[in-house]
Structure 1
Amino acid sequence: MARALTYAGDPANQLAGARTVLPNVPFTARADDGTGTVSATAAAPFPFLTRTIGLLPIVCPAGLDRPGSLDRATQGTGPYVLTHYTPGGPYEFTVRDDYSWGPAGATTAEPGLPARIVISVVPQTSTAANLLLTGGIDIAHVSGPDRARLTGRGLATADVATVVGLTFFNQRPGRALADRALRRALVSALDRRGLANVAVGGTGIPATDFGAEGAVCHADLADANLPAQDAVEALRAAGWTRSADGPLTKGGQSLRLRLITSPDLGPTLASVAELMAREWTALGVEVDLVTESLPALVNAMYQSADFDVVVGSTPGFALPVGFIPFFSGSTPAQGLNFAGVTNPEYDALVAQALRETDTTGCGTWNRAAAALFRSAEALPIAEGRSSVYGYRTTFATTFGGQLVPTSIRLHQ
């Protein structure tokens, strides 16, 4: 475990996923084989050390010696091992018979624990809902209006709090939305209640924070801190003018934005982006509305940077530190700050919060998030709910709806 933590924590190995669950400060891990314990020491203050270290999946020495072997095989300590791999799925996992070291003493010898798990990729939530109702699949994560069809059908259900439509604005040099005044004006023009209604497929509640309900330090921040101004006047003050029904221009250049999203991140996101584009078009903004596949969206965010606005959906992070690399630091490939956010007030407050112990620093973390709202660095659209459903199957989930493998039980 100590070696796996050290490997994952080394920036030279560029493990993007590990950055979201490990401390964002340098640390060392040491093992004591005599006592069977691992100790971790941070080189700088970090308030959530015990909440983060244990989130990293452990890779065994065989995987650390040959990282390429993990492309199509498992080299870990979990209750299941990968026994069949197909690019794009399905993926077959077989139970590890001798597993006995799970949380709270969980083992793989419990009655009803499946001997084999097959994970398939089902792009459409409507298809996943249909398969659940017919027994074609045992467990699926479903969001959006299709949840209504599954209510009262005798399915095991675990609700997951989410933030629907988490929107980022590209602030890299040369992009129009690097202008803080312009971002604030465009956010002011949005009907947040209307967008929330579209996002959840009914009566929506505008999101209150960047993370989902239940996250550590979650608070009601958006209403008090988002810009609320007359958008037309704010655009005029920022130097944008419009003749009759023509486009907004400044310095002879019209305002054109590339707005992208992907239905792979949620069934209502394309409609959210469409309404957003319509409201900005009414101001004179020329909006190129693009719906991408998830790989193309990720490419635009982390490689080409060819976007101005991206609308996504996420449960967020369980801890406020999870957002740090997305709102500060280097842009890809050196970092995760794909939107190029630069907010000195946020950075200063984060530095202070990192010196405060666990949840005693929530007030400071929330002031940092409020600074992001005031500068319109990003915009969460709606408080949402998705659900994990089981057909003749029960299970437990963690924050964000992740399944606990040893909790799965099949029923006749």
Structure 2
Amino acid sequence: MRIRTRAALGLAVTVTAVVALAACSTGGSSAGSASTSSASASGKPVDGGSLTFAIANDPISLNPSGTGSGNDTLYVTRQLVDSLLYQDPKTGALKPWLAKSYTANADATAFTFHLRSDVTFSDGTPLDADAVKATFDDIVAAGAKSTAISSFSGYSGTKVVDSSTVEVDFSKSNAAFPQATSSVGLGIVSVATTKLPYDSRATGKGVVGSGPFTLTSYSPNVKTVLAKRKDYAWGPTGAANTGAAHLSSVTFQVVPEASVRSGSLESGQLDAIGSVQPTDVDTLKSAGYDLVDRTNPGLAFGFSFNESRPIVGDEKVREAIAHAIDSKTVRDTSLNSLFPVGTSALASTTPGYKNEKSHFAFDLAESKKILDADGWKAGSDGIREKDGQKLSLTVAWITNFSPNQTTLELVQQELKKAGIAITLQSSTVPDFIKTLSSGTYDLQFGNSSRADGDILRTSFSTSATNYSRIDDPTLEALLQKQQTIANATERNVVIGQIQDRLASQYHEIPVHELTTILATSKDVHGITLGADSRLEQLTGAWKTGE
């Protein structure tokens, strides 16, 4: 992080001195909400017992930086590895973990991490600077095989200053890197692990981390069993339990069907379940089960455009679409109140979030007025036309979140009232990416999770994926500028300006935010969600009656 200082002095600050800066945001909203947790019983946590936690998908890869199945993979691998820094879910601030402090240079191209001296990997070898360097170099060498590669744009290398100090260097500013080091994908593994062929680590064999659990067995599409590491004693600052886990073991059971997960929880076959569907919330709550929920940071669920297409390249058409969507009614119908209505490109739990709801007020009359003035006249079928072309658009979306279809069908009905026709084009994630890359769509509906405003750059910059094909020099300059500012407070001001620009030009139209929901049995306590709204390490979890 950078402070206002004289550049000639080359001053830097440590994370331990100014961690609160990361919590600052513009627009009068907090950077994030506290991680909710399963209810706590009176009395002291109980040591021992096993926890069976149902996930919807097989992890696919137990290599922390590898390509797995999303959140379900991260739930498992988070238990095996620690990170250099920890992001506080209450404030968004970065706190010590494996690194007891860090410094950043003035232009955010060099970051120096000072490591703890009391940490060991599960094979007994000490965590040191060589392991950090090997981990980061390994991710870069893996390239597209690693989900963490996007955090290393411009990576020049990691220098071992001494056994407990590393310097990570970039050829261009990368102010988002410290936050990235708090993620599972950048979790530190042993040097021995990095010497194994990258693809062979998917089964978890040979993956050695410093986390509170170790791998006992992995049965693809069935279960992953973990055992407590008894000598663990270096949990992150801010964790409820920084020592060894209370639980003796954890089993992540693969249960694809949401109804089966809920039913198995109610029948006592499971202790906790992930991916609770909105339709199951009321049933579980009324039956007395505890819910653990937190809104996901990053991009809210919403619409972005392929602005290389002439119709949606027109700002007035995009503005008309924004005013024709009643986001609150859509949210209330397809989801529930646990999912906030979208008010900005960023979700409200993202550090730097700014409320932009004034740009997206539902006003059907205004939508029609805008289209009239823009030359779009209603045709015989009610769909507007201009220069012989129908106002008919294709929306690309993914089927991996079940309420998406209901949401889009409601939006389809609302837009039709304004004279806009949309065709829904659903697909799996791989096919969706192909569609975005080819540009054979007008709008896309989706979201993306990360607890840092740099997700706006990776989503909308011409130097990143730029699926939206936006030609907006003002926006581009802001996206690049935020990456050069190491001071969190100053950087969040620019992230607010980016949201202003995205909203005022209607490059992105938010609909609702995504919320992670877990459910636990009555005898399970202390399960928490982190700043990324994913399962934290289970060191603080415990069960009564065992």
Q: TM-score when scaled to structure 1?
A: 0.82
Name the Cα RMSD after superposition. Answer: 3.4
Q: CA deviation at 1:184?
A: 1.9
Tell me the matched-pair count: 398
> Is residue 186 of structure 2 the alignment partner of residue 186 of structure 1?
no
Q: How does 1:9-408 map to 2 (within 5 A)?
A: 9=140, 13-14=143-144, 17-19=147-149, 22=151, 24-32=153-161, 34-55=162-183, 56-61=186-191, 62-63=193-194, 65-73=196-204, 75-77=207-209, 78=211, 79-81=213-215, 83-86=217-220, 89-95=221-227, 97=229, 100=232, 102-104=234-236, 110-114=245-249, 116-124=250-258, 126-141=259-274, 142-151=276-285, 153-162=287-296, 166-171=301-306, 173-174=308-309, 176-201=311-336, 206-224=341-359, 230-265=366-401, 267-301=402-436, 303-313=437-447, 316-330=449-463, 335-356=464-485, 357-383=487-513, 385-391=515-521, 392-394=523-525, 395-407=527-539, 408=541
Give me the identity figure in percent.
16
Distance 1:157 1:31 in 2: 44
Q: SS of the counterpart of 2:409?
A: helix
Q: Which has the higher helix share?
A: 1
Runs of at least 5 residues in structure 2 that lack an aligned partner in the other structure? 1-131
Distance 1:338 1:411 in 2: 50
Q: 1:362 to 1:225 in 2, by over 3 A?
A: farther
Distance 1:117 1:239 in 2: 61
One-letter code of the match for 1:371? R
Q: 1:46 to 1:168 in 2, by over 3 A?
A: same
Distance 1:80 1:337 in 2: 39
Q: 1:225 to 1:198 in 2, by over 3 A?
A: closer
Q: CA deviation at 1:148?
A: 1.6
Q: SS of the counterpart of 2:302?
A: strand
Q: CA deviation at 1:16?
A: 6.3
One-letter code of the match for 1:158? V
CA contact (8 A) 2:301 2:514 kept: no
Q: 1:102 to 1:81 in 2, by over 3 A?
A: farther
Distance 1:325 1:57 in 2: 21
Q: 1:41 to 1:111 in 2, by over 3 A?
A: same
Deviations 1:75-110 (A, max 9, x none): 241433373242xx2342333757636524978954
CA contact (8 A) 1:171 1:340 kept: yes
Q: Which residue of structure 1 lines up, in the alignment, with residue 118 of structure 2?
A: none
Distance 1:50 1:165 in 2: 23
Distance 1:290 1:239 in 2: 27
Deviations 1:141-163 (A, max 9, x none): 32423212222545444221147
Q: CA deviation at 1:278?
A: 0.9
Distance 2:244 2:336 in 1: 42
Distance 1:371 1:232 in 2: 23
Q: 1:362 to 1:268 in 2, by over 3 A?
A: same
Deviations 1:168-214 (A, max 9, x none): 33315347423333222222221233223224336975322333333
Q: SS of the counterpart of 2:419?
A: coil
